[in-house]
Structure 1
Amino acid sequence: MPDTTQFTTRLGEWLMPPRCVVCGGRGNNRDLCRHCAVELPWNLPCCLRCALPLATGGLCGECAVRPPLWHRAHAPLRYEFPVDSLLRQLKFQRRLAHGRVLGELLAQWVASFDDALPELIVPTPLHWRRQLLRRFNQADEIARPLQRQLDVPVVAACSRRIATPPQRGLKAAQRRRNLRHAFAVRQPVRGRHVALVDDIFTTGATLAELTRVLLRAGAARVDVWTIARVAK
């Protein structure tokens, strides 16, 4: 008996072939053609602790002097065209397929490193009012393919209890003040290795505050995973 699931999948691809999210051409069954995948602004070399783009590998000057609370950061792409455009379309135009495509790239990137996988994947939470207006959380869309490909459960372990003003345009110190006490841990994380997931690493203020509350709740290790890293 033929595999009906495989048959219907192939029929769907024949009737509606995948289109590359970057150039609009025929995708490679992943909505991203090989040419555009190769041409993406891959974040190499970068700082091993904060993923800041560097000219050579190792640690950036800031992490060498003041290491962040998290153990390691992964950000496979630099926040440049077309990645910046894809992430804006995901966040503000509800192009959810972009989250899946970029999440798959992040999963492949993480799996390529000789490092322990986390026990939990925790998406960066939105305040409930913002999520109600937006109707989705972009971090959730990125986390789903991570769960599928890495076989690590996604857990909404944190909540955003304060509706902070938008962070765009603020300096790092202002961002940190905005976020103080903004998050709470609502699921047990004691003794667990956790990976925080978000779309963009800008100053790291949100990720730092989430890392702080997770470690205070007993997490054994926190890594931060984002699609893209902004160069300073």
Structure 2
Amino acid sequence: MYFKEASLSRDIIHELKYRSREKAGKIIAEWTIERLHFSDAKPDILVTIPLHFRKLRQRGYNQLHLFTDTLSDHYYIPSDHDLLKRNYYSKAQALRNKKHRLETQNMFSIDRPVSGKHILLIDDVFTTGNTLAACAWEILKSGGNKVSVLVMAVDK
């Protein structure tokens, strides 16, 4: 999906993230399942981009968990919502200017060592790619891992 101003996809993602419509994640996952077919490169683990504990407490849920768990159940791939940790609280990317969106250094850490795994890193909206790159780097630093990325929407 393209995440454009005044679009249905943007409305759906905002319902999911900001209006307590967690089940929208399951619907998007079902749409994804119709289109996503793993060949020889089936991942070993599905990993979500974490929310800071303060934002998780405010929202009450991580918008990626039901989406990821639905994919996990369908493809028989374990999910891990705790592998990555967000180290500090920041405003939502949508509320930050482009310069501040680039500030991701030390924002994430890996909770425990993992190596030799193909990890599918899952996020809601691809904007600059900096969040995904920062998380992927943490996973790759552990050694011998391969990272693929799946997003619900791309911001154009």
| 1:66-145 superposed matches below 5 A | 77-80=1-4, 81-111=7-37, 114-145=39-70
**Identity of paired residues, percent?**
28
Q: Secondary structure at the match of 1:138?
A: coil
Secondary structure at the residue paired with 1:190?
coil
Q: CA separation in 2, counterparts of 1:131 and 1:201?
A: 20
Q: What is aligned with 1:53?
A: none
Kindly state the Cα deviation for residue 170 of structure 1 after the two structures are TM-superposed.
1.8
Question: Counterpart of 2:18 in structure 1: which amino acid?
Answer: F
2:112 to 169, 187, 206: 187
Please list the CA deviations of residues 76-100 of structure 1 after superposition, one character each: whole Å capped at 9, or x if unmatched: x222421110110011111122100
The amino acid across from 2:27 in the alignment is: V
Moved over 4 A (4+): none
What stretches of structure 2 of length at least 5 have no aligned partner?
Answer: none
- 1:210 paired residue number: 135
Partner of 1:149: 74
Bigger strand fraction: 2
User: Aligned equivalents of 2:34 and 2:41: distance in 1?
Assistant: 14
CA RMSD of aligned residues (A): 1.5
Distance 1:189 1:107 in 2: 27
**Count of residue correspondences:** 152
Match of 1:170 among 75, 93, 97: 97
- Which structure has more relative contact order (CA 8 Å, sep 6+)? It is 2
Alignment partners' CA distance in 1, 2:127 and 2:33: 20
Q: Distance in 1 between matches of 2:147 and 2:18?
A: 28
Instruction: Give the deviation of 1:187 after TM superposition.
Output: 3.1
| Amino acid aligned to 2:3 | Y
> 1:199 aligned to 2:103?
no
